[in-house]
Structure 1
């Protein structure tokens, strides 16, 4: 076993110029009971550099909830003192971030190049999109729907048997750069589609009657940055006028209650909503594609991590969608399907009440465009590893998620509108 960990560490060391920055960093989970506690966390956040993992900003903390955040080594004593003095209950989820970061690469797959059970860097994923298209010409076509801020091509895979006027499902991965399990799932889905077409009755029927549009990585620049500079980066890599801080949160950048709640107007914040809705080239390319295919797209699925949740609109408001009962029933059945394989428990419901209010999300935007079936998946886990889910969990995570996606796709097929 040791040899793999050493390999992983070596792979990490070569890929992460900043690995040493994470030495001794901790991830805390704090129980927040009341407004007093919330104010204390606000105060801590203003005096130390805290990276909020869940919820993703200090403004989204609610009473009677838990908060996960990462603290730099030099601030740990301060943070622990404040928590203890004020009698806040807390757990240390990760006691040395660097170790967990290195242990991520624990896959036994020795393969160089692309693997479905390893985390692949962007260069490898890009080559894979070409290869999988070339190898499956009757099932897959590849197009470029735009370019990123740094000029990388945004590849979209269209999967399905040729047909006229087919309804479609749009699925994207990799909105937030550090959520590596997300792109891993999009790749897995493509593999399972081509591997089981003609073998497994449900997938065969889905691909005969539906098209799937798969965007394997939305935020490519950010993803590259997590492999080369900072594993914990979340946003895009665009420049911000008048600020030395980079990037916008692409999932706060859509024209759906844009920047009203759970988003920040500060370019330095992780939840920065951008200078305007669709200010980011990546979000605009995605939105333009969906707008131009609205007549065929019947469902929108976006894959994030972590917290094991299946969310539907709305997140930008506490209002419920018109087909709330239907979406709730679908979500309930989908999480049951998901749990049937490995017993993984998901919670589900409207975004605002189930996780936290957040404006400018792609799921709310897609729903408001008239796409009745719009869902956000928050994949494994619930915080033990957070964004650093080990490669050894990729297979199980993807297998179970696939069951939920197939259920939803089948439902959409039976309830076309």
Structure 2
């Protein structure tokens, strides 16, 4: 390898980013690899505990990494020694998080939510508000909307799906299954899913063709515990995992990465066996009640399920299986056509560029993910959509730009759904 193994060793003993902490003085760097060796080096850092909030193996494409004050000297030595292009994009993550929370608290005071009527795109909502919203839709549109309790989180928060139909009463239609909120800190994900729900229900006339032969089953928030935890205050803002406690080396570490917890090539490359790591795969496959819920939904829908779509943030990617290997599924050309259609629709409408391809070949191997499992369970098309990032943190665009981002996302989702309907 071109890069210095000696410098890399400096990172092997680096401590993992603590779960709940003050991010004062933490920085976010954008790093752009220009060679395969540099890209590989960045990936090795991610496996050794560095929190990459976006990562790619594509040369010339930026990755973003959080660097703690204690890691700063070593990190700068490494990127400078390797002549790796890097830019400081946030000089104090803690200050950005504090500002975000102050704005959020002011919004809640000025615009309290009743759980009735349409949700605006001017703020991020709590788990309770999301559940109240879909319950209200079921009451207002009883012939087209059905809400069902499908599971409970570790901390006993209810997990509900909303099934959206055209109300014609026909049974056994094909299904598009969609979910959001796998990773707690990705607040824009449930926001985008809520907008999809709004378009299919409140804007039914404009989108009736998407519901003629298909039902949409949507789980708006998978990781309810982690999502709520990330909203409790500045110390928890960057939380990613679930919240089930695990003991490791005499300490308690919380949660597993739900997107590494599926029983398909579970705990292989790209996942961690360390409970304190952000990519912890869990002590066993399906150790988390949240992933059990998604699994059971997939199998219950598989005989009708055509497309599985999971919404994440961020990076501007439309990814399809496999994530556990660089090999491609048999119908990869169909998957590629659907992803390409979404990317082209977004670019034509807004100019935003999305990269599409198989997860491993665009990013890195990440075994045990939900999109791989959805395809394995029988869905013809399985797509992970990594939304556009913005703001000082990336996972959540400023509230003034939520509408812009969710409408852009809907353009891609609608185009992909139309392509799936055309193909299947």
Structure 2 gaps, min length 5: 1-18, 114-118
Count of aligned residue pairs for this structure pair? 390
CA deviations on 1:95-136 (whole Å, 9 max, x unpaired) are 221343355576997532253331112222222222222222
CA deviations on 1:308-348 (whole Å, 9 max, x unpaired) are 01011111111111111121122112111112222111010
CA 276–43 in structure 1, closer or farther in 2 if over 3 Å, else same: closer
Which of 91, 96, 101 lines up with 1:95 in the alignment? Answer: 91
* 1:313 and 2:326 correspond: no
* 1:125 and 2:121 correspond: no
Aligned to 2:221: 217
CA 41–190 in structure 1, closer or farther in 2 if over 3 Å, else same: closer
Q: Report if the CA contact (8 A) 1:104-1:389 is conserved.
A: no
Equivalents in 2 of 1:411, 1:355: separation in Å? Answer: 24
Q: Report if the CA contact (8 A) 2:24-2:94 is conserved.
A: yes
Equivalents in 2 of 1:296, 1:395: separation in Å? Answer: 32
Structure 1 gaps, min length 5: 1-17
CA 382–348 in structure 1, closer or farther in 2 if over 3 Å, else same: farther
Aligned to 2:12: none
Aligned to 2:23: 22
Deviation at 1:232, TM superposition (A): 0.2
Equivalents in 1 of 2:246, 2:57: separation in Å? Answer: 27
User: What SS does the corresponding residue of 2:89 show, helix, strand or coil?
Assistant: strand
Q: Report if the CA contact (8 A) 2:178-2:309 is conserved.
A: yes
Which of 253, 263, 270 lines up with 1:245 in the alignment? Answer: 253
TM-score after normalising by structure 1: 0.85
User: What SS does the corresponding residue of 2:407 show, helix, strand or coil?
Assistant: helix
Which of 388, 399, 405 lines up with 1:391 in the alignment? Answer: 399
* 1:141 and 2:146 correspond: yes
Aligned to 1:277: 285
Q: Report if the CA contact (8 A) 1:254-1:361 is conserved.
A: yes
Q: Give RMSD over aligned pairs.
A: 2.8
User: What SS does the corresponding residue of 1:158 show, helix, strand or coil?
Assistant: strand
Aligned to 2:263: 255
Q: Report if the CA contact (8 A) 1:34-1:64 is conserved.
A: no
TM-score after normalising by structure 2: 0.84
Equivalents in 1 of 2:175, 2:256: separation in Å? Answer: 29
1:145-294 residue pairs with structure 2 within 5 A?
Answer: 145-160=150-165, 161=167, 162-198=169-205, 200=206, 203-229=207-233, 230-242=236-248, 244-294=252-302
User: What SS does the corresponding residue of 1:398 show, helix, strand or coil?
Assistant: helix
CA deviations on 1:257-284 (whole Å, 9 max, x unpaired) are 1111111111111111111111111001
User: What SS does the corresponding residue of 1:374 show, helix, strand or coil?
Assistant: strand
Equivalents in 1 of 2:60, 2:156: separation in Å? Answer: 44
Q: Report if the CA contact (8 A) 2:29-2:89 is conserved.
A: yes
Equivalents in 1 of 2:369, 2:39: separation in Å? Answer: 28
Q: Report if the CA contact (8 A) 2:389-2:396 is conserved.
A: no
Equivalents in 2 of 1:54, 1:206: separation in Å? Answer: 32
Deviation at 1:391, TM superposition (A): 1.7
Equivalents in 1 of 2:159, 2:405: separation in Å? Answer: 25
Aligned to 1:76: 72
Deviation at 1:34, TM superposition (A): 6.0
Q: Report if the CA contact (8 A) 1:20-1:98 is conserved.
A: no
Deviation at 1:51, TM superposition (A): 2.2
Equivalents in 1 of 2:43, 2:57: separation in Å? Answer: 9
Equivalents in 2 of 1:313, 1:50: separation in Å? Answer: 25
Shifted more, 387-396 versus 292-301: the winner is 387-396
CA 25–157 in structure 1, closer or farther in 2 if over 3 Å, else same: same
Shifted more, 377-386 versus 308-317: the winner is 377-386
CA 21–131 in structure 1, closer or farther in 2 if over 3 Å, else same: same
Deviation at 1:412, TM superposition (A): 2.3
User: What SS does the corresponding residue of 1:214 show, helix, strand or coil?
Assistant: strand
CA deviations on 1:360-401 (whole Å, 9 max, x unpaired) are 011111111121111010001278642242122211111121
User: What SS does the corresponding residue of 1:138 show, helix, strand or coil?
Assistant: coil
